[in-house]
Copies of this chain bind each other. A is one copy, B any other.
Amino acid sequence: MSYQLLKNQVNQTIEISHSDLENFCNAFTSKTIKKKEFLLSQGRIYKYEGFVVSGCFRVFTIDKKGNENNLYFAAQNWWLMDIDSFLNQTPSNLNIQALEDSEVLLIRREDKLKLYESLPIIEKLFRIMSQKALVAWQRRLIRNNTLTAKERYVHFVTTYPNIVCKLTDKQIASYLGITHEFLSKIKKQG
C-alpha cells in the first residue's frame, strides 16, 4: 500500500490524529512515471508537489551555456517540489526527471492550500520538514566550501548508498559540482 510510506513519514514528524492523517493522504493521487519521463520542465509553473513511493528522480537546472546541474536526487520517502515556483506561481527554473520507472503521490497546489486552511497541523508538518531541509542545505553548502572534491564524493557515497547505486558517475559529478572526467580521476586514485 503506497500510502503507508507517506503516513509513516508524517507520523515520524508530528503527532496527528488518525482522521486528520486520512484527510491529508486522501488529497494525494498515485502516479507512475516511466524512466526518463519528466514530472516538471523548466519554464512551466509547478502545480503539484510529490512524495516518492518508489524509483528515483533527479532535480536539475540548465544554465545559459546549456550545462545541466543536478541539484538533488529523490528516492523513496523524499519529496519532490519546486518551492519557489509553488510558493510564488512563477515559472520554474527546475527540471524533474525519473531515473527509473517510479511511483509518486501527487497533491495539487490548490488542494494543499486548502489543507493548510482546514488542518493547521499540516502547517506544522511542512514547517518542520522545511526547517529540516534548510539545515541539510546549510550543511551541504559548508561542505562544498570546506571539503575537497574527493572528500565530498566520499561523504556522498557513504551517506546515501541506496541513492548512489541508482546513479551514473556523470550525475554524481554534476551533483558534486565537478566534471565527470575529474570524478573518474578521483575514483582511480582510490
**Chain A residues with a Cβ under 8 A of chain B:** 61, 63, 67, 69, 71, 83-84, 87, 116, 120, 123-124, 126-128, 130-135, 137-138, 140-142, 144-146, 177
Contact = CB atoms under 8 A, between A and B. Distances in A.
A141 B145 CA distance: 10
Q: Which of A126, A128, A135, A177 has the most CB of B within 10 A?
A: A135
A52 to B, nearest CB: 18
Given A123-B120, A126-B127, A132 B87 contact: yes
Contacts of A146: 63, 67, 69, 177
Contact of A141 (B130, B131, B141): B141
A134 B137 contact: yes
B140 A141 contact: yes
A39 B160 CA distance: 34
Given A67-B146, A123-B127, A141 B137 contact: yes
A71 B141 contact: yes
Contact of A61 (B84, B116, B142): B142
Given A123-B123, A146-B67, A134 B141 contact: no
